[in-house]
Structure 1
């Protein structure tokens, strides 16, 4: 069965006008070809759509059932050019974005708000994932982009683009009530907490972040004892709250307020921890391009 939109448009015009002559005028055509088109549609459907007399045209039960569906299809067809234009310009579509847990306390919320305001028709599929998992997802083409902590492995650099988004210092997260915190206000030195176990990401999850944290201790002349490892920032902070040890976290994590956790700036010189966006250079959809343009304006 091959029903054309043109036939449906003719059918709707006759059904709404209840008159072939008025429908022909509305369609800017003569009546004979209109009648022929309706007859061809009826033959295609295998049923009459109109009960005709010399004075009137009425819809048959089949015509009454077809009318609302034909009107709906014509309305949908009328939106197709605009739908295609929006998709081509990145105004609609799907963006799949992964993010490390630290981004949830810093750049992710304002970035998503700005993007949704600018592109309300885009559907955003979010998933929290560690940097190593994001790199695998990107290499396999399963996500559009990922907010992760560098560096990128050499193999990934061949396929991925990367843009820094945020750089922030590390701060201390420590259990409330520690003597060192009670006796010293303001910034604190890592050497004051040398006897506390360290809670840290496993190195395989984020080698750069892991090495940066241990480098801070080495620079302070402290050899930390790793007491616990956890892959989620909220888990690390939760373990600190439980008194299991201390952690060095990006400054924005202090937005995660937990009872039993004190955040302090460090006296020791600490490098900045970077978070950036990575994406495949050979798979930039219009939606991703729109996201990148908004990100570069921030």
Structure 2
């Protein structure tokens, strides 16, 4: 592994190369002050050791060792070079160790996308696990709605997202990491706030509903439409984010359908009510917990680091990850 050095004298002279083996041999001699003992320590014979040190001196352009009948000593240049030699070896060893950690998935940088509501139950525990289990991994957080996360993955801005389906399965891989119930958010004092037991679609007949944008918030739009399929509710607003829906509920503008974890946002003036089970859109959905959170990444881009982080996401979510 060559270490390159430029020596400037009224311009640049041709670069002389030295090798890490030469530097290690010099360090051994400088510490032992004896070629025989240094050769034994390096597990080699004395002649090749001497040649390595001589090549190093030619590469450096300075005599580093005094050789005499009374033994070996460092020259002033050798003493100065020894400090640099220690740093060179330490830097290379640290670089090698870091590269191996990156290759093994225990170091590096990951750009992680998340939605505001997904952060409630998963992000905090995940960051704690990352700090504990992967302290050499730098996590750069990006708060984005699901559609923006998909675009971020496509453009290479994100490595991993925590988002809601659907996704382009031709370009992205996904894994279900959490499931939770869908709840109704109703204003304090609303007649539905005092109803005992889970609410069904018929309970929302003639009620003003705060809906979700059909394209910008497609996932929650479809969940709401499926739940209200046989009701006579009136959708009067269309929003893009769960928090916005909750704020409108608190303002008395209607009721909304939100993931159960949204109760942790603590929006004043809102009561969260359970719903009857929602029929699944596909065979492996859970009618009691229809709201899914997926980890998503570019297809073919599952590195050792992302594989380890996915395992921690699963732990943070409190359950086994399910392949989508």
Band of TM-score, shorter chain? 0.7 to 0.9
Do the aligned residues in 2 keep the contact of 1:42 with 1:48 (CA within 8 Å)? yes
Report the TM-score when normalising by structure 2.
0.74
Please say if 1:13 is aligned against 2:25: no
Give CA-to-partner distance per residue, 1:123-155, whole Å, 9 cap, x none. 333322111112222233432232211122xxx
Matches within 5 A, 1:61-210: 61-78=76-93, 82-114=97-129, 116-152=131-167, 156-176=168-188, 178-180=189-191, 184=195, 187=198, 191=203, 194=206, 196=208, 198=210, 200-210=211-221
Mapped partners of 2:213, 2:310: distance in 1: 30
Do the aligned residues in 2 keep the contact of 1:91 with 1:119 (CA within 8 Å)? yes
Q: CA deviation at 1:269?
A: 5.6
* Change in 2 beyond 3 A, CA 1:223/1:260: closer
Mapped partners of 2:194, 2:108: distance in 1: 56
Mapped partners of 1:51, 1:235: distance in 2: 78
Do the aligned residues in 1 keep the contact of 2:212 with 2:240 (CA within 8 Å)? yes
Q: CA deviation at 1:79?
A: 5.0
Do the aligned residues in 2 keep the contact of 1:149 with 1:206 (CA within 8 Å)? no
Unmatched runs of 5 consecutive residues or more in structure 1? none
Please say if 1:229 is aligned against 2:235: no
Please say if 1:289 is aligned against 2:307: yes
Counterpart of 1:260 (choices 269, 285, 303) is 269
Mapped partners of 2:278, 2:36: distance in 1: 87
Mapped partners of 1:236, 1:87: distance in 2: 42
Give CA-to-partner distance per residue, 1:34-84, whole Å, 9 cap, x none. 333223212211223234554354434433332233223323444566544
Aligned equivalent of 1:219: 230
Mapped partners of 1:281, 1:30: distance in 2: 53
**More deviation, 260-269/208-217:** 260-269
Aligned equivalent of 1:280: 298
* Change in 2 beyond 3 A, CA 1:183/1:41: closer
**SS at the partner of 2:89?**
helix
Q: CA deviation at 1:258?
A: 2.9
Unmatched runs of 5 consecutive residues or more in structure 2? 1-15, 280-286
**SS at the partner of 1:158?**
coil
Mapped partners of 2:37, 2:277: distance in 1: 86
Which structure is higher in helix share?
1
Please report the RMSD computed on the Cα atoms of aligned residues, expressed in angstroms.
Answer: 3.2
* Change in 2 beyond 3 A, CA 1:92/1:236: same
Q: CA deviation at 1:183?
A: 5.2
